[in-house]
Structure 1
Amino acid sequence: MIRTSFNDGWQTRRKVNFFAELVGPAAPFQPVDLPHDAMISEDRVPPDEGATIEGGAGAYFPGGAFEYRKTFFVSEELSGKRILFEFEGVYRDATVHINGAYAGQRPYGYSHFTVDADAYLRYGQDNEIRVEARAHQDSRWYTGAGIYRNVWMLTGETVRIAPDGLRVTTLEMEGERAVVEVATRLLNDSIALHSLDLTVGILDSSGNAVAQDTTRVTVLPNEYAMARSRVYLPEARRWDVDSPHLYSCSITLSKAGEVVDADSVTFGIRSLQLEPDRGLRINGRSIKLRGACIHHDNGPLGAATYARAEERRVQILKEAGFNAIRMSHHPMSKAMLDACDRHGMLVVDEAFDMWTSAKSSFDYSLHFPEWWERDVESMVAKDYNHPSVIMYSIGNEIPESGSAVGAAWGRKLAEKIRSVDSSRYVTNAINGHLAVMSELAAQREKLQKEEDGAGINTLMADEADPADGISASDLVTERTAESFSILDVAGMNYADSRYALDRDAFPNRITLGTESFPTRIDHTWRLVEQYSHVIGDFTWTGWDYLGEVGIGRPLHATSPDNSRGAIGAPFPYLLAGCGDIDITGHRRPASYYREIVFGLRTVPYIAVQPPETHGKTFIGSPWAWSGSIASWTWPGWESKPVTVEVYTDADEVELLLNGNRVGRASAGPDHRFRAHFDLPYEPGELCAVGYRKGVETGRCRLASAQGPVTLTAQADRPVLTTTLGDLGFVSLTLTDPQGTCWTGVDRPVCVEVSGTGDLIALGSADPQPVERFDAAECPTYDGRALAIVRPAAAGKIHIRATATGCEAAETTITVE
């Protein structure tokens, strides 16, 4: 079917009571273009003032119901054709009306779905489509609301290629030779029999034709037909994380020489193998998954899914050493899948965060029994042609997983996936502690007494090591045995204590750490490397996110005997604070530490704890880093003590301050890849030198910012396009004349955008901001902020940023 963007020209407002409008003025609609997050521009409110999205879980946004409308003209020429609208994602409980008539709905906020429009359209006239969505106490994180992903208008003949009807499968691989099957689902809604010619064409990444096949297909009236073509590639190039080669497959459907329909997809040729003694192999090569769990929001953009924002995240995560993403806890966007294909990032795509047992007051468990099969089919249809997808996860920390009924549900889900895609593996991210919660009376009583409502996160953070011990207990072993047995890969959250145990107890079990504490990556990764049946680890989280506020904030005790840190944070906290990378895309010290643990970085890395925390006892959760940043600029703290962290795989590290030796300490794997130094703060240059057996392995420097504060503006790319979903990201940084970031002199930055683009978001990594992201001014945080611009037409986008005491910073982006 012909696919046309349907993103422009929408209007939106909060859902209005129909009867209230009869007696009062109508609430105005505001113009918007999609994708659009209706919640991110709402004012956040404290819990006692009406926040309804589970308080801090939803970042204190008020939630609510929202409606969208669009007027569009349908030509008389389209009469008699099939017309559908495809929604890539509407959060949540979406209902669609066309010209006042109910046309369709989708309760799950992460599934793409289509709505048949033919019966409701008025040809040769204007038409109206309305979409309603609502978000209310239905999630444990920030979800956003509204039509947050792309919308498409699909038009086609009564005989046509079905949406998502083209699937490419690698059947055989031997040397450079590959056999590919192209399966095409054809629909015939007419009362006549149709015989058509179906032509398959395969192009390589350079656009060269490498294979072709033509076959005759007859489709009976009001039925469908599945056409399968075997295509042979004698010199096939493999898709891999290091060389993500992609092919394109085009389908042309014609009758009597006239094209009736056409479609195309990209795909990759690669093989997957899984064995306990050799782990996961891609194209015959063993690989360990260096994984990042991420949520779907894009920081300052909220939940709005722009293709460039998704690609930028994938690129930064890949550069930081990750080779796999677990989309938590819902299906990944099409745009991010495309980016993972292009950049060689492996994907574990997850279906649900809940099944029949609710985790929030009004979550998807209310619809799961009726809709789960359609949502699974939607996820697989979206993922099938993406070589990056290697595994489907049927759930995350499902409480039912420790029961017989829960295992039966898991079997239904796993078998449903296998029935529609047998080429990937199936996992389930099981939390052993949660799976036996009903048996842990004392812990359950403690959990119920929690005032902050953080639930399982609070209990796990209080007792991280005991929780790991519970995961290895006989009780968990027995209660989860069936749930694990139905899977190809046993996904385990915070259960690395099972890795050695399962090697002997379950010799055929293959394990994946689907979620782990970032502060324990050195311990966890050593186990991943040690055991062949453990194929990787996914940290919580690779990228910081909105909601679950404060689970990763660095807390310090006010007295030495205060050893417990709280989970969650009060208003106006916005961020979880546990990502290796912050919401603006800036890598935190934890990211470089992880890179060293992975064996991908040999140069030491220096991070400095804030001087005001010196001498205080750290009581943050297992998701919380120390609060250190890569800065030697602490104005006002001269001669005061400060703690310096040095991360390195070297045996020893020496610290120098302004050329003078501060000290030398052991480091490397035996010392958790880190060394600590206490010294008085003195501006200048800090240098860490790594040594292995007395030989220098590398050095890292931090310099203090000196001189006047300068504001700089740097675009991530000099040229943008008018292609759907493209964006420009402009980093705003306070620096000295040498380019060193001034981290101790934050000030408000105001941004003006002119020309052929618009400012659509502005923000920083401040975990508790009071400004909205749709404002034109925000304070920097640790000397940084980020402006995001959207191109509107070919030409030039001019960005001008100002800050108190600084000359204006300007940059220009070309739009082609």
Structure 2
Amino acid sequence: MKKIYILFVLTTILCPIFSAAQDDATGYTLFNEGWKFQKGDVKGGEAIKFNDQQWRSLSLPHDWSIEGPFSSEWASSTGYLPAGIGWYRKTFTLTQQQQSGKVFIYFDGVYKNSEVWINGHYLGKRPNGYTPFQYELSPYLNKTGNNVIAVKADHTKYADSRWYPGSGIYRNVYLIAKEKVYIPTWGVSFTTPEVTAAQAMAKVDVKLQNSTTATTTVVVKTSLADSKGKVVASKDQQLAVKAGEEATATLSLPVVSPALWSDDKPELYRLSVSVFQNGKTIDQYTEKVGFRTIKFDAEEGFFLNGKNMKIKGVCIHHDAGALGAAVPREVWARRLQIMKEVGCNAIRMSHYPHQDYLYELCDEMGFLVMDEAFDEWARGKNKWVEGWNVGTPTKDGYHEDFAEWADRDLGDMVKRNRNHPSIIMWSIGNEIDYPNDPYTHEVLNTGRNPQIYGKGFIKNNPPASELAEIASRLVKVVKQLDDTRPVTAALAGVVMSNMTDYPDLLDLVGYNYQEYRYADDHKAYPKRIIYGSENGKGKKEWVAVDTSKNVFGQFLWTGFDFVGEARKWPVRSSGAGLANMAGFPKNDYFVRQSLWSAKPMAYLMVANNGEKEANRFMWNADAKWNWKDGEQVKVGAVTNADEAELFLNGTSLGKKSADGDDYPMWDLKYQAGTLLLKAYNKGEEVATYSLVTAGRATVISTKVDRADFDQAKKGVSHIEIELKDAKGNLVYDSENEISVSIEGPAKLLGLESGKLDSHESYQSPQRKVYRGKLLAYIQSDAKPGTIKVTLSGEGLGEKTITYQSK
């Protein structure tokens, strides 16, 4: 493995599948409307004449598991939510454009074991629930009459994941219409052999497929425009494509003084590709692209565009609480902005390919991405049923399909995503080497070995030597498709993997929760490029990165709380996030902001548990100033300033240094009023934060992120709800139930409080607030009119928000 890993990439910002969805010139049409759904297996559901009139009508994306109900009969690992089998059907006719050429259907993801039929003809099966796939429909279509597409998703093995996967067609679907000579899906790729401040050279490969019976000559035209629309480079190439074969046009586009894509300034260009035959346009492709360089070094760490920097990342799962796995683009846009404000600059797509638009958002907003393929390989991991590490786990999961599908699934992930500037590494696996789950080695009888299920070496478990054998195969798959980025994996049992060739096969070696190994392993393996692929959220975990020049960054577990990986019932979600499932920041969020953000900040948290250890105090503290009179409490201050001073009702309780490993803390007796924190740099006040004793909740206060919708497309608005007293103070301990009613062309997608053990139905228009807050998701119907959303609750009156769809 080389000591220095240098990459130059011209990469895309908009996935062609998504960006083309509303553009007839490219042949892509969003295919989400007008579906029928039936929960449970049905005989003959694929038949053209099957009567589906009694089935439920819905729009995609759709996740049936999140509809519940929650029950202890299901698995803790997947959030105590039901799974099973679901059927989808859609009847459609072709447009005139779609009748003459090739027609495909593209699914961004179906969980799982999806089987697809068109007009009763079986198209195929895709076991992986996260990988996009497509089928050609052309030979089986009725060009002038009705056509029926049928999809069966089989999630019968409900405890098949270590987190909540969702069920059904939970991502976008597209109908693709092409001429008989066309650019196939993922047929355009970009690299840059040269990037300097003076000039960048983009290499654009355009694949053409000829499905006719004669050699066809076409002209491929490309152009690149800057953010103001000025064309800065263009190139044409004539290409002869033999009958029934593929050919590739390779074009070079030089750009003078390129504006570079970065995490803090994601500069973009627009690439346009057009294919002409006899002067007629037969295919088009357009997307945004960016220039940037990345470099990884075993001694110096990571460089973006020549600048040495630390990766400040978070891991995410694909669900959003109330919405399950069917999460609209606007929801993740809000979530990513929340992470931006904490100082985050990187996202780990744990532990599978995510929604297509999520990569686009990372490109647009400036997040570096670790894209990950698998959580298990040929052997199954423990999937807990009665609670995390409780009882007897199942072994159901992807390993059952790994031998047949892994190479294709991994390859499709790379082909779909390789043009995104945000992606800086490919991960072939997460914690595949988790000690004794299932792999083992004699070294587990020695040393410091965290995260061991069972004790020491277990003779009958599969040997760790298998890790290198499989990793070698997977690395080869990635390198054949993209050699411009490093290959990595997240290692949980580094002490065991070090006894194999597994780490040496990787360009970058991720360490999960093993900061104590950084220094020793750097000495033992000086050419190894090390980083934290999954980490705890305390100060010490960041100090291990911040004080080590060679360790280039970390990814916290996690950015947001998520459904699944739950403890014992009634808890049904993980509380590992910096923010809860509604996206409201938790104590962890502000602690991390104090470490990652340069903007001066201050925050207070209070507990009466007397905990002395800082992290435990943080977990049990509340951001409130409502306690029993005279009660002994502990107050913790979080700030990135030099000093912190606490005031109670105007009286100073003293200044304390904020530079230490722990938070500044004060022990005092509770007294109603105002608790105020002032933060100072070199004696100058730079930030404040206060907690005020609140009265009874009487007011519904809201924060809304938009005032209108575009009637041409569906959109989502977030309503952040807070319950306040008559003086405008947040009532942190309130648990009032809020009801939501809607008039006009919109619907309530869901209500989320963030409470980990709430079993309230996500299909209900009522929900209790948690810690005084609630989030409402409102989705427009893409129709004109006035939308009125009314919020109400006992003793709270009503609050109405009005939108215009225009």
Q: What interval of TM-score do these two structures reach, taking the shorter chain for normalisation?
A: 0.7 to 0.9
2:653 alignment partner AA: V
2:424 paired residue number: 390
SS in 2 for 1:125: coil
Contact 2:716-2:780 within 8 A present in 1 as well: yes
Of 486, 489, 494, 1:425 maps to: 486
Identity of aligned residues (%): 32
Contact 2:564-2:574 within 8 A present in 1 as well: yes
Q: Distance in 2 between matches of 1:397 and 1:737?
A: 51
2:65 paired residue number: 39
Contact 1:727-1:790 within 8 A present in 2 as well: yes
Q: Do structure 1's residue 339 and structure 2's residue 361 form an aligned pair?
A: yes
2:535 paired residue number: 516
2:56 alignment partner AA: Q
Q: Distance in 2 between matches of 1:298 and 1:343?
A: 19
Q: Distance in 1 between matches of 2:766 and 2:401?
A: 41
Q: Do structure 1's residue 646 and structure 2's residue 637 form an aligned pair?
A: yes
Listed as ranges, the matches of 1:719-738 within 5 Å are 719-722=708-711, 726-738=715-727
- Cα distance per residue 1:657-677 (max 9 Å; x no partner): 101233444432x332x0222
1:445 paired residue number: none
Q: Single out whichever of 527-536 and 75-84 deviates more from structure 2.
A: 75-84
C-alpha displacement at 1:683, in angstroms?
2.1
1:11 paired residue number: 36
Contact 1:194-1:220 within 8 A present in 2 as well: yes
Of 406, 409, 412, 1:378 maps to: 412
Listed as ranges, the matches of 1:391-790 within 5 Å are 391-399=425-433, 403-432=464-493, 475-476=495-496, 478-480=498-500, 482-518=501-537, 520=538, 522-549=539-566, 568-571=567-570, 573-598=571-596, 600-609=598-607, 611=608, 614-615=609-610, 625-634=618-627, 637-668=628-659, 670-672=660-662, 674-691=663-680, 696=685, 698-706=687-695, 709-722=698-711, 726-790=715-779
C-alpha displacement at 1:236, in angstroms?
1.3
Q: Distance in 2 between matches of 1:815 and 1:574?
A: 37
Q: Do structure 1's residue 369 and structure 2's residue 409 form an aligned pair?
A: no
Q: Distance in 2 between matches of 1:624 and 1:389?
A: 36
C-alpha displacement at 1:721, in angstroms?
2.9
Q: Do structure 1's residue 798 and structure 2's residue 788 form an aligned pair?
A: yes
TM-score with structure 1 setting the length: 0.87
Listed as ranges, the matches of 1:139-218 within 5 Å are 139-218=161-240
Q: Distance in 1 between matches of 2:100 and 2:314?
A: 48
- Cα distance per residue 1:626-666 (max 9 Å; x no partner): 232322244xx233222221113445433211012334444
Q: Distance in 2 between matches of 1:575 and 1:700?
A: 30
Of 96, 100, 122, 1:102 maps to: 122
Cα 1:20/1:306, change in 2 over 3 Å: closer
Q: Single out whichever of 396-405 and 116-125 deviates more from structure 2.
A: 396-405
Contact 2:97-2:177 within 8 A present in 1 as well: no
SS in 2 for 1:16: coil
C-alpha displacement at 1:421, in angstroms?
0.8
2:3 paired residue number: none
SS in 2 for 1:13: strand
Of 270, 273, 296, 1:248 maps to: 270
C-alpha displacement at 1:693, in angstroms?
6.3
Cα 1:623/1:384, change in 2 over 3 Å: farther
Contact 1:709-1:742 within 8 A present in 2 as well: no
Q: Distance in 1 between matches of 2:440 and 2:619?
A: 34
Cα 1:696/1:790, change in 2 over 3 Å: closer
1:310 paired residue number: 332
1:454 paired residue number: none
TM-score with structure 2 setting the length: 0.88
Contact 2:210-2:241 within 8 A present in 1 as well: yes
Contact 1:237-1:245 within 8 A present in 2 as well: yes
Cα 1:586/1:75, change in 2 over 3 Å: closer
Aligned CA RMSD, in angstroms, stands at: 2.4
C-alpha displacement at 1:525, in angstroms?
1.5
Cα 1:723/1:107, change in 2 over 3 Å: farther
C-alpha displacement at 1:2, in angstroms?
0.4
Unaligned runs of 5+ in 1: 433-470, 550-567
SS in 2 for 1:18: coil
1:537 alignment partner AA: Q
Q: Do structure 1's residue 115 and structure 2's residue 135 form an aligned pair?
A: yes
C-alpha displacement at 1:60, in angstroms?
0.6
1:561 paired residue number: none
Q: Distance in 1 between matches of 2:714 and 2:114?
A: 23
Cα 1:700/1:490, change in 2 over 3 Å: same
Q: Distance in 2 between matches of 1:791 and 1:656?
A: 47
Cα 1:810/1:666, change in 2 over 3 Å: same
Bigger proportion of residues as helix: 1
- Cα distance per residue 1:587-643 (max 9 Å; x no partner): 11211111112253433311122x4xx24798x9x8995232322244xx2332222
Cα 1:20/1:311, change in 2 over 3 Å: closer
SS in 1 for 2:214: coil
- Cα distance per residue 1:776-798 (max 9 Å; x no partner): 00000011111101111233321
SS in 2 for 1:57: coil
Cα 1:252/1:180, change in 2 over 3 Å: same
SS in 2 for 1:786: strand
SS in 2 for 1:479: coil
2:589 alignment partner AA: S
2:558 alignment partner AA: T
1:485 alignment partner AA: D
Which one scores higher on RCO, CA 8 angstroms, separation ≥ 6? 2
- Cα distance per residue 1:347-392 (max 9 Å; x no partner): 1011000101112432111111111111112111221221011111
Q: Distance in 2 between matches of 1:725 and 1:395?
A: 36
C-alpha displacement at 1:227, in angstroms?
0.6
Contact 1:713-1:810 within 8 A present in 2 as well: no
C-alpha displacement at 1:76, in angstroms?
6.7
Q: Distance in 1 between matches of 2:735 and 2:260?
A: 49
Listed as ranges, the matches of 1:342-361 within 5 Å are 342-359=364-381, 360=383, 361=395
Contact 2:697-2:723 within 8 A present in 1 as well: no
C-alpha displacement at 1:509, in angstroms?
0.9
SS in 2 for 1:58: coil
1:376 alignment partner AA: L
Q: Distance in 1 between matches of 2:786 and 2:485?
A: 45
- Cα distance per residue 1:505-531 (max 9 Å; x no partner): 11111111011112x3x1121121222
Q: Distance in 1 between matches of 2:636 and 2:616?
A: 18
C-alpha displacement at 1:208, in angstroms?
2.2
2:562 alignment partner AA: Y
- Cα distance per residue 1:390-422 (max 9 Å; x no partner): 111110000359722211211211121111011
SS in 2 for 1:751: strand
1:321 paired residue number: 343
**Count of equivalent residues:** 737
Contact 1:401-1:430 within 8 A present in 2 as well: no
Cα 1:238/1:393, change in 2 over 3 Å: same
Q: Distance in 2 between matches of 1:328 and 1:625?
A: 25
C-alpha displacement at 1:763, in angstroms?
2.1
1:97 alignment partner AA: W
